[in-house]
Structure 1
Amino acid sequence: MKTPRPDRKRGYTLMELSLAMMIGLAVGAMVLSLANQQFAFLRIYNAQSFLVEEAPVLSAYMNKIIGQAERYRLHNNLTDAKAGTNSVLTNASVLVLNYQQPDGTARAGILAFQNLGSGNALYYYVVPANGILGTPEWALTKRPKDVKFSVENGILRTRITGPADEVLTYSGAMQQ
């Protein structure tokens, strides 16, 4: 009579477990690498989206608004701009523009980089005939970190620092 053989234990060998773990780690490393690539691409896209999509439109607005003005003043804040006091030549956050109307009357507009409760934005105000400034007509852009106006060699310069710290400089002169 034959003696019964003990049943072989079921399970995986050390070699099989090691191989499965190595394959799992390799797949995990590839997924992590792909995720990092996607995040890097998203950061680059976000930085370039301001330059590619918003900056050209902003340039067109700035050229139209500033190009039609007859004269301008720079101020550090909206209060000084409304009062017409403490004008500056550099690092201003407010630009007051004066326009000559076809009927001979004058009107004014204000570009102001300020926070009205929902984050910083570059706003455009139309100054009414009574001089009492209300809410802005529109926000030209809400994405820049900073906007500064200055006069360099008689030329009005607008420096806009974008969300990825890119610096755009618009230069303009009044109509002659």
Structure 2
Amino acid sequence: MFRKGFTLIEMTAVLILAMMIAATSTTMISQQVSFYSRLSAQKFVLEEAPIANSMMVRILSQADAFRIHGSRANALADTNGLVANGTVLVVGFAQPDGSREFGLIEFTRDPAASTGDLVFSKLSEDASTVVSSWTITGGASNVTFGIQNGILIMNMTGPNGGNIQYAASSSL
């Protein structure tokens, strides 16, 4: 006698196997989403911060003097210098012919945005206007400059709250 269909035991075995595959797949997808979320949260530290560090090292290793200000207007007018919590850093570069060049490193952020730009600008000979500029990093949520015991300290906060601190001294 030939029968058509499946027994209850066969159907139960297939359903249990399908449920095990679904549970395993769900767990794997959940782990992948969690891993991707963590990786995205660390993107600033893994990608942006090393680039910013490299640029700051290059700039500050050539500088022989610096001063900190709370705004671009104060920096260009050379007024209201700060020793902590400034967002603008003016750097001076001695030239071989005895003249000086100046640059400006400034953190700016639109109040509606979660991150801002750390920008280097070359200043005119009298350090009163910006001649040209380029972005060091665009992923920081805050950058402040301060001086502790004659050492320049730059605190950079990433978009997820991670804080990175850089230190440099002038060659004077």
Relative to the length of structure 2, the TM-score reads: 0.80
1:137 corresponds to: 133
Larger radius of gyration: 1
1:163 corresponds to: 159
- TM-superposition CA deviations, 1:117-160 (whole Å, max 9, x none): 985110000002263225x5211111111111111122100111
Please report how far the alpha carbon of residue 18 of structure 1 lies from its aligned counterpart in structure 2 after TM superposition.
7.2
- TM-superposition CA deviations, 1:89-129 (whole Å, max 9, x none): 11111111111111111111011010379851100000022
Q: Which amino acid aligns with 2:150?
A: G
Secondary structure, in 3 states, of the residue corresponding to 1:112? strand
1: distance between equivalents of 2:30 and 2:159? 21
**1:1-176 maps to which residues of 2 (within 5 A)?**
25-115=19-109, 120-129=116-125, 131-134=128-131, 137-176=133-172
2: distance between equivalents of 1:174 and 1:69? 6
Please report how far the alpha carbon of residue 29 of structure 1 lies from its aligned counterpart in structure 2 after TM superposition.
3.2
Q: Which moves more between the two structures, 23-32 or 165-174? A: 23-32
Residues 51 and 137 in structure 2, CA contact (< 8 A), matched pair in contact too = no
> Structure 2 regions of 5+ residues with no counterpart?
none
Please report how far the alpha carbon of residue 44 of structure 1 lies from its aligned counterpart in structure 2 after TM superposition.
2.6
Q: Which moves more between the two structures, 66-75 or 11-20? A: 11-20
Relative to the length of structure 1, the TM-score reads: 0.78
Q: Which amino acid aligns with 1:50?
A: F
Instruction: Report the CA distance shift for 1:67/1:20 in structure 2 as closer, same or farther (over 3 A).
Output: same
Q: Which moves more between the two structures, 141-150 or 61-70? A: 61-70
Q: Percent identity, aligned pairs only?
A: 29
Secondary structure, in 3 states, of the residue corresponding to 1:142? strand
**Alignment RMSD, CA only?**
2.8
2: distance between equivalents of 1:18 and 1:94? 70
Q: Which amino acid aligns with 1:162?
A: G
> Structure 1 regions of 5+ residues with no counterpart?
1-9
Q: Which moves more between the two structures, 116-125 or 10-19? A: 10-19
Please report how far the alpha carbon of residue 14 of structure 1 lies from its aligned counterpart in structure 2 after TM superposition.
8.7
Please report how far the alpha carbon of residue 20 of structure 1 lies from its aligned counterpart in structure 2 after TM superposition.
6.5
1: distance between equivalents of 2:73 and 2:7? 79
